[in-house]
Amino acid sequence: MENDASAVVAAAPHAQGGPHTDPFTPPADSSLWRKDFLIGAATASYQIEGAVNEDGRLPSIWDTYSATPGKVLAGDTGAVACDHYHRWEQDVDLLAGLGLEAYRLSTAWPRVMDEKGAPNRKGLDFYKRLLERLKEKNITTFVTLYHWDLPQHLEDRGGWLNRETAYRFADYADLMSRELHGLVDAWATLNEPWCSAYLGYCVGRHAPGLTNVRFATQAMHHLLLAHALALPVLRANDPRSHKGIVANVGRGTPNSDSAADRRAAELFEIQHNAWVLDPLFKGEYPQDLFELWPRAEPLVLDGDMQKINAPLDFLGINYYFRTNVASDGGAGFTEVPLEGVERTQMGWEVYPDGLRELLIGFKKTYVNLPPIYITENGMASNDQVIDGRVEDTQRISFLKRHLAALDQAIKAGVDVRGYFLWSLMDNFEWAFGYERRFGIVHVDYKTQQRTIKRSGELVSKFLKDRNAQAQ
């Protein structure tokens, strides 16, 4: 493997302007010009690392799920992905070259512990070397402990349906925070527990592929318990770092002004947002959730909710789209796709106002809301390299409008400290395999060449302009 980043990062001939105009730079009064507002990019272990059978890494539920015929588009798996496990030095150089100030990554639980919970030194050393290099480059590090790649041996014993998994997660958090203390600026316990619980256990579109609503509510409770058990361990082992959790949130809007459709929109946001946020910030599950899902209450033991309700240093928010809903005629809702709206390659509606509306709503709803980081925001498009360039015009417009909506929320009093693009580079997009491209850097999966997209060039230019202005 060559260590020269130029061997894999295609040149960006117009990164400083050239014949292109700059449709990205925020207005002069935008909060984004503040030097203390952190701007970075995010990835996740299973989506980029590959090397699934190397150096003692154990199988994860996503190895199993993606190898199951019919589960992932085109039969794709994360076996190679972006080969980041072997190309991490070049990828750090790429981050630094773009001028990104922060990097959000996840560690792979199956890479760092064996079935008995003993450390896997080779896996730990990989993350240690990666984080040390990031610190050398003065890049702020956000590390997520769980981005969905549960060790398969734990799933074999019930996975998140087994309360014991929450205690094993605390052991994992203990190991990682002892090994990596001083190298991590912010720890997130979980990424998007809604996806793990609902997509994984209710509708079966994510690993482990189960389809029972009572499984989903119990899995959610054990995920949040795992978060709660890990927090004091992280605080004890790495006291100078910040600790939080990352939730994906969705905006639900009513299809009409009828009382039934307005209630449907409320129920959508209760299921999508309050199911996670109410336990964290109110110490209880929203009772209206069980109007939607009767007799699906999880088993909660004494003291669980008090632990889950512990204070956080930050909340990570991931936002992508809104959902237009109508009453299903009963106690639920049904999606009603709008006609004539802009959509991404995923089929998701582009709706920047939803980010502002949700953030302002959360500030009103949760009096103990900690500082917020937008830990994921971005879009997929069918990007292609043509004459050495990737002109991702829709993504540039998407980012500009969402950052403007974020700025409006900040000016309305929401304490938002930073923004992470999803994603640094194209990668394995879970059930959609490699077809959907979210990166500001294009990846040719056959050659592993990285090509900075026009969006990446413009983000880089803005950061360099902001840095120059601050000096």
Integer Cα distance of 101 and 209 in angstroms: 37
DSSP H helices in 120-162:
121-136, 152-155
Percentage of the chain beyond pLDDT 90 is 94
Whether the predicted pLDDT of 353 surpasses 80: yes
Query: What confidence score (pLDDT) does residue 470 get?
Result: 82
As given in the structure block, the two tokens for residue 280 are 């964290």
Integer Cα distance of 270 and 305 in angstroms: 18
| 311-324 confidence digits (pLDDT tens) | 999 999 999 999 99
- For the full predicted model, state whether its pTM sits above 0.85: yes
Do 401 and 351 form a contact (C-beta atoms < 8 A)? no
The CATH number assigned to the domain holding 184 equals: 3.20.20.80
Among 376, 391, 435, 457, the active-site one is 376
Integer Cα distance of 319 and 328 in angstroms: 25
Strands (E), 114-263: 140-146, 186-191, 242-254
Do 371 and 186 form a contact (C-beta atoms < 8 A)? no
Do 101 and 161 form a contact (C-beta atoms < 8 A)? no
Averaged pLDDT for residues 439-460: 98
Place of tokens 């990835």: 43
3-state secondary structure of 374: strand
Range of the domain at 151: 5-470
Q: Can you say whether the dihedral through the CA atoms of 237, 133, 15, 439 is positive or negative?
A: negative
Mean confidence (pLDDT) of the chain: 95
Q: Work out the pLDDT band at 12, boundaries 50, 70, 90.
A: very low
Integer Cα distance of 145 and 132 in angstroms: 17
Averaged pLDDT for residues 20-37: 86
Residue 376 falls in the annotated catalytic set = yes
Integer Cα distance of 25 and 169 in angstroms: 42
As for how many domains the chain has, the answer is 1
Could you count the other beta carbons within 10 Å of the beta carbon of residue 219? 27
Q: What does 391-446 look like in DSSP terms, one character per residue?
A: --HHHHHHHHHHHHHHHHHHHTT--EEEEEEE-SS----GGGTTTSB--SEEE-TT
Higher pLDDT residue, 190 or 2? 190
Whether the predicted pLDDT of 13 surpasses 60: no
Integer Cα distance of 56 and 113 in angstroms: 9
Q: Work out the pLDDT band at 4, boundaries 50, 70, 90.
A: very low
Q: Work out the pLDDT band at 3, boundaries 50, 70, 90.
A: very low
Please enumerate in sequence order all residues whose Cβ is within 8 A of that of 234, keeping only pairs 6 or more positions apart, or say none: 173, 177, 187, 189, 241, 243
Q: Work out the pLDDT band at 121, boundaries 50, 70, 90.
A: very high
Whether the predicted pLDDT of 45 surpasses 90: yes
Do 207 and 61 form a contact (C-beta atoms < 8 A)? yes
Integer Cα distance of 351 and 253 in angstroms: 11
Strands (E), 233-307: 242-254
Integer Cα distance of 222 and 160 in angstroms: 6
CA 114 and chain centroid, separation? 26
CA 297 and chain centroid, separation? 27
3-state secondary structure of 10: strand
Which helix (H) or strand (E) covers residue 327, if one does? strand 314-327
**Lowest mean pLDDT, pick from 4-13, 93-102, 149-158, 363-372:** 4-13
Nearest of 251, 173, 159, 249 to residue 209 by alpha carbon: 159
Whether the predicted pLDDT of 41 surpasses 80: yes
Nearest of 221, 148, 237 to residue 187 by alpha carbon: 237
Integer Cα distance of 194 and 178 in angstroms: 28
Place of tokens 């302007």: 17
Q: Work out the pLDDT band at 24, boundaries 50, 70, 90.
A: confident
Do 467 and 37 form a contact (C-beta atoms < 8 A)? no
